[in-house]
Structure 1
Amino acid sequence: MTVASSSTNEYKTRTSSQIPLPLRPRVPTSLRTPLTRVPYADCPHTTMVKFYGFLVDEDWLLKRGLEKKLGPGNTPMERDCTAVRAAWDILDDIGAGECGNVTRVVTKKGHSYWCIALASSDPYESVYTPRNMPPQEMMDAVKAALEKPDDIVPKWWPCAF
């Protein structure tokens, strides 16, 4: 920072050590609260995105994608793309392609699965949110398309990434 001197026309350069810093009150160590580690998925104050939907087995999606000729299954990348195309095809078949989502989610045991979701905790990810849930008819249509038994219900799943 350059500062002009009032007595002469000379310029002096001020170093960062000469700039006064704002004072912060120092909290004594005895009054500081210890930092506690809370698991990310269980913390109520995190912004982790969760999806409301059904878990789908990747092999089942791949089989459906190959039957409908949605892509090849030669390499791991092609298998993933075919499985995702099959999931989107299911959403398109029931008319939920505009508001649904296909994403990877994690179970409590740490296993990763594909999820066909109709709601999300992030309003930028889905039309439906926890405050505005999808209609029951739409959830029943997804359940029927996935050939899920009657005792299986959609759940909230944390996003895998």
Structure 2
Amino acid sequence: MRIYLPATVTELGDPDGLVARVVHAVTPALRAALPDEDEEGLEFAAQLLAADDSLDLLGERPDAPLRRVVVAADVPQEAVAPLADDDAAPSAVRLLTAVPWSDVACAHVDEVAAAEDVTAALAGDEDAADRLADRDLLWFDVGELARLAAGHE
């Protein structure tokens, strides 16, 4: 199962991989919420919802670089469980295990220039949040993530 894991740039440097948390995936609830979307559109929707959660993570981790990060990984179906939260996004599921880098396909990351909008969005600026929603995240191969975490990208 492909999951979209909200993260921070700092976490990309952890040699042990990424710890369990709420992630996003193409779920039956997401399919029901977006019945006209094809598989690619559903995956993109899950990725965008993970990017929103990454912004929330940045609000909790002021030491992290101000770039949203979404890590795409492939995990067994039994590595995720439904959420018991009625307020959760329709794509949200609970990841039950850590994700090693060997299970990661790639990461999608804001460009450095997005930092100003990230800061403003975290301060409640809705226009900045809209600009972030319109930004395309940059694609990084899993082999590039340690360099990115070290500040070399």
Whether TM-score is above 0.5 comes out as no
Larger fraction in helix = 2
Larger radius of gyration: 1
Instruction: Provide TM-score, normalisation by structure 2.
Output: 0.26
Higher relative contact order (CA 8 A, sep 6+): 2
